Amino acid sequence: MSVYDRLSVLFRILPEVERPSRKPSLGERLFWTGLVLIAYFLMGQVPLYGIPRQTQGTIGALEFLRIVMASKRGTLIELGIGPIVTSGIIWELLVGSKIVNIDLTSREGRRTFAGLQKLTAILFAALEAFAYIYGGVYGFLTPTQQALVFIQLFVASIFVILMNDMLEKGWGVGSAVSLFIAAGVAQQIFWELFSPIGPLADGLYYGLFPSLIVGVVNFVTTGNATLLHYAILRPTGYPDLVGFASMVALLLFLAYLESTKVTIPVSSARFSGMRTRIPLKLLYVSVMPVILVGALYANIVMITQALWPRLNPGNTNPYLNVIAKFNYTQNGPVPLPGSLVYYITPPRSIFSVFYDPVHVAVYALLYISFAVLFGVAWIVTSGMDPESQAEQLVKAQLHIPGFRKSEKIIANVLRRYIWSLTILSSILIGLIAVTSDLLRVMGGGTGILLLVGITIQYYSILASERALEMYPALSRLLGE
């Protein structure tokens, strides 16, 4: 009896969305994708019932990871895509390291992998909801309030899991994970550009453009350039002109990197030896390492914040201090130097290089190392490794000129390119994310990385779908 047969009884009781009986048109898929996005935004506007209003979503050090987790504090999407991505991390590492042996090239293996991911995501939804409540994120709650908040967080997470299931099974375009992250980053950038909240402590507004207007008007009328200087580079960490310029420069640089490819010549046995080239992107791992590193960091911060008030409230245990030390403020727990949590929290200013170089160095080293680790794991589990790519080429009756028509030979040739691109792109993605955090890029360095990568992915998907609809013969040729 196979693994899937043994677990099929359990998989059948999991909530799921059935695959469409026919492949929906692109218009229909865009319609369902839009409905999912609207539902997600609506959930982000519904506050959790039963928690004190002044403590809604206070979680301190986790704030910088909310974009990656597509979450919004104090609302039904408090947990965001965290359970889904955390489940993905675990199973990608287990399968990629061969600790759990699942054949992802077979239909049954993929169904087993998907079922295990969904089951684990549901378990993590319950665990994370409990951790938020137990850790005092919402302040003191009565048992009735705790039960109400737990049910809201858990049920909302199930809806997010089902929305992701719906899109991935063909009802929509792409995945809910990518869609929610991109929408959240775009919303954050818009808010940082135009927010009218203020005046704040520095005399400016939260949004960049209102702050620039105030700074220019104040300079013209009084001759005092202080507010204008603050609008250009704000010591308070609010959006400024330097962050906007860094965002534009990063967008252009990422667009260039996304267009850079390495091509491998191939010949088709099906079409009389016709030659073409297969492009391999320089950013071969895309943005997945960033999402996975963000999910790992979010879970570390969340678990330590949940346990810290009860296990080490005064930072008196030297062993636990290695993992986490917090200073509790009105804005939530703030990590203190000397602990793991402090060094996985991004430095949010270029001046950090001078006044806390150890933090910058350790943060960069850890981030890049995890990016490489998850990049390799993602390539193995997603079928982008040399062996899987060679198998696909052989099935398509393609081979590399000058080499024998053997799957092993083709895999050996691809191995030279794919693993080098995997390591290089993972390091590049990590460096860009760290540098962008230091420059306080609007939307967050990690957020811009995700937005660009996800937008290009959606553009490619839509272009491919449009081509298949316009040329039915091409669809039949590709077996779509």
Q: What are the C-alpha distances in Å from 217 to residues 209, 210, 237, 252, 443?
A: 12, 11, 22, 31, 27
Q: Give the pLDDT confidence score for residue 369 in this predicted structure.
A: 92
Q: What is the mean pLDDT of residues 102-120?
A: 78
Q: Label residue 473 by pLDDT band (50, 70, 90).
A: low
Query: Do the bridges between strand 398-399 and strand 261-268 make them parallel or antiparallel, or are there none, so unpaired?
Result: antiparallel
DSSP letters for 333-378: EEE-TTSHHHHTSPP-STTHHHH-HHHHHHHHHHHHHHHHHHHHHH
Q: Give the pLDDT confidence score for residue 231 in this predicted structure.
A: 84
Does 12 score more than 50 pLDDT? yes
Q: Which residue has the tokens 């811009």?
A: 448
Average pLDDT, the chain: 79
Element (H, E) at 231: helix 226-232
Does 425 score more than 50 pLDDT? yes
Between 448 and 474, the more confident residue is 448
Q: Give the pLDDT confidence score for residue 154 in this predicted structure.
A: 93
Between 328 and 414, the more confident residue is 414
Question: pLDDT tens across 180-217, in order?
Answer: 888 888 888 888 888 888 788 778 888 888 988 988 88
Does 28 score more than 60 pLDDT? yes
Domains (range + CATH), the chain: 26-200 (1.10.3370.10), 244-479 (1.10.3370.10)
Q: What is the mean pLDDT of residues 436-453?
A: 77
Q: What is the mean pLDDT of residues 390-401?
A: 73
Residue (of 440, 424, 293) closest to 353 by Cα position? 440
Q: Give the pLDDT confidence score for residue 57 in this predicted structure.
A: 43
Helix H, strand E, coil C: the string for 2-71 is CHHHHHHHHHHCCCCCCCCCCCCCHHHHHHHHHHHHHHHHHHCCCECCCCCHHHCCCCHHHHHHCCCCCC
Q: What is the mean pLDDT of residues 324-334?
A: 71
Torsional class of 84: left (φ above 0), alpha (ψ -120 to 50), beta (otherwise): alpha
Q: What is the mean pLDDT of residues 379-392?
A: 78
Q: Rounded to two decimals, what is the model's pTM?
A: 0.73
pLDDT over 90, % of the chain? 6
Q: What is the mean pLDDT of residues 365-387?
A: 85
Question: pLDDT tens across 254-296, in order?
Answer: 888 877 888 777 776 665 666 767 778 888 887 778 878 877 8
**Of the listed ranges 23-32, 194-203, 343-352, 354-363, the one predicted with least confidence:** 343-352
Residues 371 and 343 sit within 8 Å (Cβ to Cβ) = no
Residue (of 155, 151, 150, 88) closest to 119 by Cα position? 88
Does 148 score more than 70 pLDDT? yes
| Beta bridge mates, 268 | 274, 398
- By CB neighbour count within 10 A (0-12 exposed, 13-18 middle, 19+ buried), where does 273 fall? exposed
Does 474 score more than 50 pLDDT? no
Residues 209 and 217 sit within 8 Å (Cβ to Cβ) = no
Q: Label residue 479 by pLDDT band (50, 70, 90).
A: very low
